[in-house]
């Protein structure tokens, strides 16, 4: 144990990467090896125990994707004013503070101080907390609570433009809205760093390829389907730290090519518990309730509601603009000393402290599109783990 803590402390600032070569006085060539000696890796990554027998759970969830982006308009349902806050695709955690900030402004503009939030996932919890910070009294009504909500089954990375809308709908107005949501969320997340249990932290993540300059995902040749919007580099480049490349011989993954990026990661178990605890300690109430139609809202005492039902809005509001995008995680026994992520051959590895996450993400964002099946696929889970395990074997 003592050794582990010592290594963690040593590694903390460098994302588990030790640049031993740089500390030595001998000369270093372009790929970081000592001249006239066998290649010495300059980037050392602690070994990951990736094997299928260490899988502890396989979870499946559907992202609530809308081609036009999240729904944030105001609707009158009988006597109730409903502010929608759903349809965030693969970006719900990332955009939650910014999106909920917009919904909360609209709710407060009605002039009521008792406000209901329907839903207790990423969007419901952040809506509830932001309402409280503005002085509202809030009750969350939901049929499920964390860890039994879909938000609890996310990968846990800062991915604010992941399946957020189709390119055709990324109008100047949408881009402005999205940018403001991203910046608001990003700033809020900075206040959640360094807390006990690490609900939010930064990690280094390595995109690994067998050839130089390989695309992250290959896509499908001749694909004529509408493209998903990619907005980060265009609209918030200042929020993306520079990447760094490592050639063959300068890292432990044999003759491969690595690109290192620094990313924000959410340890969702700790983070959701923190949000729930903060909401309750601020005087928030949580009631278990299921609504079958919007008319069921009539029984609530509040006149103003934020609808944060995520994928559930499809059935509740008959909103068929929500398209399910299936995603499966293989969760594995945590390895606290590992604090770097990997991406290799369409598989993502996220070093979450509440369980390592392996996921086949496919060759493009259509992977899992319009698939609402939730049966776990053991073969896919093992493929994810074995693909990452393959990196630690010589080629
Ligand atoms: C595999 C996968 C990986 C992902 N990875 C990431 C990631 O790395 N980063 C990221 O930012 N996002 C990620 N996402 C997306 C993110 O998980 C979603 O966008 C987000 O969870 C949506 O949150 P939500 O609060 O809208 O919905 P939910 O979490 O589904 O919460 C909805 C709430 O509403 C309640 N509810 C629904 N219907 C009713 C009803 N009729 N009556 C009463 N209550 C109801 C539910 O019980 C629940 O409490 C991922 C998604 C998937 C599937």
The string of DSSP codes covering 288-347 is: E---SSGGGGGGSS-SEEEE--GGGHHHHS--TTEEEEEEEEEEE---TT--EEEEETTE
pLDDT of res. 395: 63
pLDDT over threshold 60, residue 374: yes
Atom of ligand 1 nearest to the CA of 289: 43
Atom 43, ligand 1: which residue's CA is nearest?
Answer: 290
Asked if residue 1 has pLDDT above 70, the reply is no
Band of residue 220 on the pLDDT scale cut at 50, 70, 90 = confident
- pLDDT of 141 > 70? The answer is yes
The tens digit of pLDDT for each residue in 318-357 reads: 999 999 999 999 999 999 999 999 999 999 999 999 999 9
Q: Does 9 score more than 50 pLDDT?
A: no
User: pTM of this prediction?
Assistant: 0.91
Q: Does residue 70 have its Cβ closer than 6 Å to ligand 1?
A: no
The whole-number pLDDT of residue 215 equals 80
Given a cut of 50, whether residue 67 has pLDDT beyond it is yes
State residue 22's pLDDT score. 31
Helix and strand tally (H, E) in the chain? Answer: 9, 16
- Model confidence at 359: pLDDT above 80: yes
Question: Residue 30 pLDDT more than 50?
Answer: no
Closest-CA residue, ligand 1 atom 26, reads 310
Q: Is 106 in the pocket of ligand 1 (CB under 6 A)?
A: no
- What pLDDT is stored for residue 39 in this prediction? 53
CB–CB of 150/268 below 8 Å?
A: no
Q: What is the pLDDT of residue 218?
A: 72
pLDDT of residue 37: 56
Task: For residues 247 and 51, give the distance between their C-alpha atoms in angstroms, rounded to a whole number.
Answer: 26
Question: 294 CB under 6 A from ligand 1?
Answer: no
- Give the Cα separation of 355 and 56 in Å (integer): 8
Read off the tokens for 30. Answer: 């372009």
Mean pLDDT taken over the chain: 90
């Amino acid at each position: 144990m003592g050794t582990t803590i010592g290594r963690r402390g040593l590694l903390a600032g460098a994302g588990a990467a030790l640049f031993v070569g740089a500390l030595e006085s001998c000369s270093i060539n372009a790929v970081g090896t000592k001249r006239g000696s066998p290649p010495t890796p300059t980037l050392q990554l602690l070994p990951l125990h990736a094997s299928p027998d260490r899988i502890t759970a396989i979870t499946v969830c559907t992202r609530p994707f809308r081609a036009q982006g999240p729904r944030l308009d105001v609707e009158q349902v009988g006597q109730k004013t409903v502010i929608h806050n759903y349809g965030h695709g693969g970006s719900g955690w990332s955009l939650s503070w910014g999106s909920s900030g917009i919904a909360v402004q609209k709710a407060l503009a009605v002039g009521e101080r008792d406000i209901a939030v329907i839903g207790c996932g990423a969007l419901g919890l952040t809506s509830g907390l932001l309402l409280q910070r503005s002085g509202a009294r809030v009750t969350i009504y939901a049929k499920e609570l964390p860890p039994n909500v879909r938000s609890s089954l996310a990968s846990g990375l800062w991915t604010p433009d992941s399946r957020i809308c189709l390119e055709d709908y990324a109008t100047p107005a949408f881009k402005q809205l999205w940018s403001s949501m991203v910046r608001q969320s990003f700033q809020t997340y900075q206040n959640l760093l360094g807390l006990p249990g690490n609900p939010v932290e930064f990690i280094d993540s390595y995109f690994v390829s067998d050839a130089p300059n390989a695309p992250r995902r290959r896509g499908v040749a001749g694909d004529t389907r509408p493209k998903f919007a990619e907005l980060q580099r265009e609209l918030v480049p200042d929020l993306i730290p520079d990447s760094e490349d490592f050639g063959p011989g300068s890292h432990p993954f044999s003759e491969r090519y690595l690109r290192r990026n620094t990313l924000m990661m959410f340890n969702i178990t700790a983070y959701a518990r923190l949000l729930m605890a903060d909401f309750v300690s601020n005087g928030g109430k949580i009631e278990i309730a299921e609504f079958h139609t919007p008319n069921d809202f009539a029984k609530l005492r509040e006149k103003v509601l934020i609808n944060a039902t995520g994928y559930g809005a499809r059935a509740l509001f008959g909103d068929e603009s929500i398209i399910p995008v299936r995603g499966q995680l293989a969760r594995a026994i945590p390895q606290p000393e590992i604090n770097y992520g990997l991406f290799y051959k369409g598989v993502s590895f996220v070093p979450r402290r509440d369980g390592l996450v392996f996921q086949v993400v496919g060759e493009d964002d259509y992977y899992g599109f319009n698939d609402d099946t939730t049966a776990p696929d053991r073969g896919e889970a093992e493929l994810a783990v074995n693909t990452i395990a393959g990196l630690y074997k010589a080629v």
